[in-house]
A = this chain, B = another copy of it.
Amino acid sequence: MDSDYGVPRELSELQKKRTEYQPELPPCLQGTTVRVEFGDSTTCADPSSANVISRAFPHTFGQPLAHFLRATAKIPDAQIITEHPPIRVGIVFCGRQSSGGHNVVWGLYNAMKIHNPDNILLGFLGGTEGLFAQKTLEITDEVLATYKNQGGFDLLGRTVDQIRTTEQVNATMKACRVLKLDGLVIVGGVTSNSDAAQLAETFAEDKCTTKVVGVPVTLYGDLKNQFVETNVGFDTVCKVNSQLISNVCIDALSAEKYYYFIRLMGRHASHVAAECALQSHPNMLILGEEVALSKLTLFDITKQICDAVQARAAKDKYHGVILIPEGLIASIPELYALLQEIHDLQDQGISTDDISSHLSPWATALFQFLPPFIRKQLLLNPESDDAAQLSQIETEKLLAQLVEKEMSNRMKEGTYKGKKFNAICHFFGYQARGSLPSKFDCDYAYVLGHICYHILAAGLNGYLATVTNLKNPVNKWRCGAAPLAAMMTVKRHSRAPGAIPIGKPAIHPVSLDLKGKVYELLRERATSFLMDDLYRNPGPLQFEGPGSEAKTYTLSVEDQDYMGRMKMLQEYLDKVKSIVKPGVSQDVLKAALISMASVTEVLSVMTMPSFNGHQPL
């Protein structure tokens, strides 16, 4: 098996052309000097969790932000690293394959060789299994030749995707020591980067000199926070899916006889589905976040779709396209409760055949109501995380069946007088996540790879590579690093003010923000999307000409430049200091004190653990 990794392979004309594409570097990463400026020490978004997290991560919580600066930047405090002794770094694909992953390897390799040709980059073969077993492939120009700007994770492969048990952590530490690694780069999503944070803390505790760096690579787009604007792979998967969705829309409009129910891979959050809806304008989008907030039942959702079908029928329209995020099933309260009961029983070791007889009476009733195929899918065992199981549950078929039944009831009762309702179901995911990466993902991943080197050269441990200001051209991108521990949250059982955080701190997937601009855009256009068939076809992913430079709506409409604003705040504070120097008039000093007192008062209230309006970003 191993002998297949990193082998050169036959490429199509387009693949060959793509291998020749050289991503641009932002000015701050050009040259052979690393200049790093450290900001203030970090906290986390939810003040009430800070204590819990700092206790769990004594070595790595509270580290400062790092900004990488261009060689000519006039920042007095910037640390300039000109010495680059040879280092050895290992890199491992840890999450699900996302387009662009190969470019992280290439970017890191390139940065390492620029700074010292004796640097060695080792790729772990077969993901975390290869890491535990110390199976490596030295990355070289030859190895990379046919993988530059290409999709998949097949250069190195991936496997169990977790480094969590004591055994796994110990095997990892052993590998790092045996291979004499100065750095370990972990490529993955929320789960993998939570593991990376834990690993960094354990290494620091155990005086293992290997520094751990995370890279945000996940097609789900749910590793979002103050420091991370988007993830590698999200742009590509949304573009490929949007192409397919809009092809289906055009198909629906041509034949005018089918409703297409399309489920989109994307884990719990609805980022992929929301972005695809903005790109392709399907008739309906059922957001898991909305369902969870309004506590909509399966029956409510069915009714909502049926009413839409009926409203369209009144305009003589018998076709339509409905998007469903794969996380929807876990957002429907009664189904979530049922899934929880099933998982608890599975954890107790009860066999699949016996589970249904152990359910509570209420859960039994719901279970029996569901069609057999869904029952079978609900009983599947969750894998490393439950994303794999979610992708096996055909929510789109469940909804299509329920809608079909309800429409034929309405027909019998005479409340619906239109034509028979016909549905065709799709699940889009696997066919998108192996795609050739978009130009954006090629660039973003390559730059992140470079940043990993800069993080290691600065001697940082437990950091995630970050690029901000991404909606602007590459030459405006800001490069930095943020402590993984600053991205952590602790789950609570209740949303009440003062509720006590429970559970282990972790980087959690972030849901679609129902107060954000993406959602606002979707709400604004929902009625016209539903009734007017404003289907839009972004077309197949292009690498040249129109559309090739397009960015996601998610990135473009949100005003996300948190790191930029942090710097701006620093500038304001510095300005106050420089204006109110000793010697300044009494009046000016008084004015400054009054103003600053009111500012600090407001901010203190807003950051009190019991503050009611508190919303972690």
Contact = CB atoms under 8 A, between A and B. Distances in A.
Interface of A: 1, 4, 9-18, 93, 96-97, 126, 150-154, 157-159, 240, 243-251, 253-256, 260, 279, 281, 315-317, 373, 424, 426, 428, 430-436, 533-547, 550
Nearest to A245: B431
B13 A546 contact: yes
Contacts of A433: 247, 251
A389 B550 CA distance: 39
B10 A246 contact: no
Given A246-B434, A247-B431, A544-B544, 16 more contacts: A10-B536, A14-B547, A15-B539, A18-B539, A154-B250, A154-B253, A154-B254, A157-B256, A158-B254, A243-B540, A245-B431, A247-B435, A424-B430, A436-B539, A436-B540, A542-B542
A161 to B, nearest CB: 9
18 contacts: A1-B316, A9-B534, A10-B536, A14-B538, A14-B542, A15-B536, A15-B539, A17-B546, A96-B255, A151-B247, A243-B435, A243-B540, A245-B431, A247-B433, A250-B434, A540-B541, A542-B544, A545-B545
Contact of A256 (B1, B256, B426): B1
What 8 A-B pairs have minimum CB-CB distances, sorted nearest first? Answer: A250-B434, A152-B250, A247-B434, A540-B540, A14-B539, A251-B434, A1-B316, A14-B547
Contacts of A540: 240, 243, 435-436, 540-542
A534 B254 contact: no
B255 A97 contact: yes
**Interface-centre pick from A4, A281, A316, A428 (highest chain B CB count, 10 A):** A4
Contact of A244 (B316, B431, B534): B431
B12 A538 contact: yes
Nearest to A433: B251
A542 B539 contact: no
Task: Give the copy number.
Answer: 2
A250 B433 CA distance: 9
Contact of A317 (B1, B243, B249, B424): B1
B13 A550 contact: yes
Nearest to A1: B316
A249 B151 CA distance: 11
A14 B546 contact: yes
Contacts of A244: 244, 431
A4 B532 CA distance: 9
A497 to B, nearest CB: 43
Contacts of A13: 538, 546-547, 550
Given A97-B255, A152-B253, A542-B542, A11 B157 contact: no
A152 B10 contact: no
A537 B97 CA distance: 16
